[in-house]
Structure 1
Amino acid sequence: MINTKLFFRSLLLLFFCFAIGNAQGILTLENAIKIALENNYEIKIADNNLKMDKTNVAIGNAGMLTSISANASDNKSVQNTSQTRLDGTTVELKNAQNNNLNYGVGLDWTIFDGLKMFARFDQLKELQNLSDAQLKKTIVNTVSSVNSVYYDLIQEQQKLEDLDSTIVISKKRLEFTKNRYTIGKGSKLDVLNAQVDLNTDLGNLLKEKQIYANAKTLLNKILARDLKSDFIVSKNITVDRKLQLSELLALAEKQNPELIIQIINKKVSELDLKQIKADRYPVVQVNTGYNFNESTSSLGFNTQSSARGLNYGFTASLNLFDGNAQNRNEKIAKMQVENSKLVIEQQTINLQSNLTVAFQIYLTNLDLIDLEENNTAISKQNLDITAEKFKIGTITSVEFRAAQLNYINSKIRLSTAQFQAKLSEITLRELAGNLQF
């Protein structure tokens, strides 16, 4: 076993990291998701789009309500006028003034348009559902990104701790080789090798710190907060080992955001076709209004007149021939409906394929976790035995370094396997549409 002095130095390092962690504050995954849902710009944009589509769902926007308008016009003229009457007399007037004033209100109401207005109203509701589905997809994608980056930070944090541990060991190895060289039991080459290996470990630690800092910046970006916000994450990665492919496939058919969007797109295309077919029917409108009219003239038989009253009626129109545009529009709309069906079928197959592949990766990563846990335990035992032999001088410094690297690399591989398995779990839940947030 490594000696008592090395144990206390390691313990001191852990206490130091714990103190720094408390100063920075732990950001839990739940809090990170909460912040992202409140701040993320893509979610805010998608939410605003949903609000706009909700506002558009109105019977007036579908053309079901009447149109009421008020109008007023006042036209004046100044003219040099000459009139010849039936008896042959001529009347002339310079700067003759004429005035015509009209004002009133009118109402127009389409009472039948081949049920086009009802299809339009249903389409507005489907467009709202589409925005709602897109918002949910954006939320799921954001939560997935938060999960991925968060667990990547845990992995990088574990690597930092592992590299800190190997530096402690490398420093102890350098100190031991220097002591042996001083008393004449070791060589200068062993000291130089130990120093080079320590410098290599320090360099690896610096690189890992940079990777860790970049991952923290990325998470702050996703959370839409100050990029310099400092924090630490939880220490452990827990993987759900109970996922079943059959259950995931069943959930995906009902909850996958992309599949839901394509199903709604199909409904929108079908309602487009209904609106186009409605153009084959007549359009009937009723209209009424109350108008006022006053006119004055400086010359003529009537120098002043006025009228006011109610007018009403209806108009009906039917498209008899439009150069076969109606037929073309219907054919195109039908093809769009057919395409939307094909997209759903394609999306379903892709979804099943992606889930199957992701599930196989998930199972492989679970096996890798078990393998690396066993490797880590074995390499730890090997390192302890090698350390004792190194202290009594029965093995070389190079052999001790090999055991040290085997142990550290096995721990890093274990962290990587845990992270990859967690990524697989996140991917499976995202595809199935049951990612928790």
Structure 2
Amino acid sequence: MNLYKKLSALVAVAVLTVTAASAQEFLTLEEAVRIGLEKNYAIEIARRNVELAQNNVTLGNAGFLPTVDARATRTFDNRDSRQEFETNPAREVSGARSNSLNSSLNFNWTIFDGMGMFVNLDRLRTLKISEELLTKATVETTVADISNAYYEVVRQAKKIQPLIDAVSLSAERVELIREQYRVGVAAKVAILTAEVDYNADRTELLRQQENLKTAQINLNQLLARDPDLEFNVIDTIQVITSLELNESRIQALNQNPALLRARVNQELAVLDLRSAQASRFPVLGVTSAYVFNRSESEPLNPFSPISNQSKGFNYGLTLAVPLFNGFNRTRLAQNARILIETSRIALSQTQQLVESDVARAYSRYQNRLRILDLEESNIQLARQNAEVAMERYKLGLLTALELREAQRNQLVAENRLIDIQFEAKAAEIELRRLSSTLVIEGVAQ
């Protein structure tokens, strides 16, 4: 195949690629995050848990409201009886039937329980806050995962073009050596070597296309979409370079969901102690009932009634004074105090962990920015070197091995720059996740 045919084939492939790409969905990071927040399974589960916690925050669940229940019992009886008297003959009744109806409407209301109902309501509200913080953490982690997966697609897509350029250069080199061979200034082995390099570049391009497809599948999985759905992404990775350590640390201490949940757990431990203390107080309640009873029966003797009916209502107060329950109230109070101390230690541990994570993330972020500056300078040198090497090779001033080395150096430099751009962006995303500034009102910033 001559150079014209090879270049024509490359152009045809490029046209087909562009045509296929134009028919594909263009997916922005904001759109990916929106889809993820709407459809991601972990977020859906977390939101359901928040709904459950919200449903539990009611006065009735805390014990403020009275209870009213109605009861009714209907019974039927069929019995044989024998009555013996001292002076009269025995009296026998077979199959005597009777039935009764008992019904009541009961009202119970606890009006004082040592402030336990107030503690229960505070606990329910605190549990709801805990679930909301867990959902927030899930959202931020999901947004970070989606962002990283999105920029992984960008990275793998950006690596395609350098490989296409490498294949084009290798094809040009093969054709050039063929021309040199025809005029007798190149050996057959040079053609074979150039073709081996050309095939190696094509293989690497195919592998890179596979990497791109895998990255797209991974992102589609996070978005709960069809894994085979193809799409296009932006072609640049913009890294925020203005993040500061002190500001990130302060934001993390004030906003990090893990740290906030540790503080909420400390509040729950205090509420457990208040609940144990409330159980030592008497419980005062109001009770009332309306009762209706009616029974009918066949008489067993002349003096037995055939029906009996009663109805009416009652009301009063109930007072329960806890005296002794095997020291269980004391045990619960002691355990609550232990949990308060444990939660205090856990809070300190979580705070230290968050601060350490922020420090590590910022160090990585700063280092990646420095490397990014070096690689941006280095890529210019690598490109210039490859261009000069190609011109010298055409003039016969450079060997094929030296040309290949220059081309490989350029490809490696291109890949290093793309990789460090991705790593710098990933470091930025992690730092913003830890400081809880990655998501504002459900939108990736």
Aligned to 1:348: 351
Count matched residues.
Answer: 435
Deviation track 1:11-59 (CA, whole Å, cap 9, x = no partner) reads 8876665443322132111111111111111111111111121111111
**Secondary structure in 2 aligned to 1:61?**
helix
Report Cα offsets for 1:298-339 as digits up to 9, x if no partner.
225441322111111222222222222111121112212222
The reply to whether residue 424 of structure 1 matches residue 427 of structure 2 is: yes
Q: Is the 8 A contact 2:6 2:171 kept in 1?
A: no
Q: Deviations over 1:362-411 (max 9, x none)?
A: 11111111111111111111111111110011110000000001111101
Work out whether residues 112 and 285 of structure 2, in 8 Å CA contact, stay in contact via their aligned partners in 1.
Answer: yes
Letter paired with 1:24: Q
Rate the CA distance shift 1:86–1:116 in 2: closer, same or farther, 3 A. farther
Distance 1:11 1:376, change over 3 A: farther
Question: Unaligned regions of 5+ residues in structure 2, if any?
Answer: none
CA deviation after TM superposition for structure 1 residue 106, in Å? 0.9
Does the alignment pair 1:408 with 2:411? yes
**Over residues 119-175 of structure 1, what are the superposed CA-to-partner deviations in whole Å (9 max), with x where a residue is unaligned?**
111111111112211111111111111100111111111111111111111111111
Which residue is equivalent to 1:124?
A: 124
Asked if structure 2 preserves the Cα contact closer than 8 Å seen for 1:289 and 1:311, the reply is yes
CA drift at 1:118: 1.1
Is 2:7–2:168's contact at 8 Å kept on the other side of the alignment? no
Structure 1 CA distance for aligned equivalents of residues 98 and 6 of structure 2: 111
- Answering whether residue 107 of structure 2 is matched by residue 107 of structure 1, we say yes
Verify: 1:372 aligned to 2:375, yes or no.
Answer: yes
Q: C-alpha distance in 2, partners of 1:317/1:87?
A: 54
CA distance in 2, matches of 1:81, 1:60: 51
Contact 1:10 1:165 in 2 (8 A): no
Partner residue in 2 for 1:398: 401
Assess if the C-alpha contact under 8 Å between 1:33 and 1:146 holds in 2.
yes
- How far residue 6 of structure 1 moved from its aligned partner, in angstroms, is 11
TM-score w.r.t. structure 1 length? Answer: 0.94
Aligned partners of 1:318, 1:86: CA distance in 2, in Å? 53
Give the letter for the 2:350 counterpart: Q
> Does 2:322 correspond to 1:326?
no
- AA aligned to 1:405 is R
Partner residue in 1 for 2:92: 92
Which whole-Å CA distance do the structure 2 matches of 1:11 and 1:374 have between them?
30
Local SS of the residue matching 1:299: coil
- 1:3-18 correspondence runs (5 A): 17-18=17-18
C-alpha deviation, 1:9, in angstroms: 9.3
Query: Which residue is equivalent to 1:338?
Result: 341
Correspondence for 1:240: 240
Q: Do the aligned partners of 1:249 and 1:352 also contact (CA within 8 Å) in 2?
A: yes
CA distances 1:209-234 after superposition (whole Å, capped 9, x unpaired): 11111110010010111111110110
What is the rounded CA distance, in whole Å, between the counterparts of 2:169 and 2:163 in structure 1? 10
Structure 2: distance between partners of 1:295 and 1:20: 87
CA distance in 2, matches of 1:123, 1:289: 32
Offset at 1:72? Answer: 1.0
Per the alignment, residue 386 of structure 1 pairs with 389
In structure 1, C-alpha distance between the alignment counterparts of 2:341 and 2:107, rounded to whole Å: 41
Aligned to 2:365: 362
In 2: Cα distance, 1:88 partner to 1:262 partner: 85
The range that moved more, 159-168 or 268-277, is 268-277
In 2 relative to 1, CA 126–87 (structure 1 residues): closer, same or farther, beyond 3 Å? farther
The DSSP-based 3-state class of the residue aligned with 1:280 is coil
CA deviation string 1:345-369 (max 9, x = no partner): 1111011111111111111111111
- Residue 230 of structure 1 aligns with an amino acid whose one-letter code is E
**Alignment partners' CA distance in 1, 2:107 and 2:6:** 93
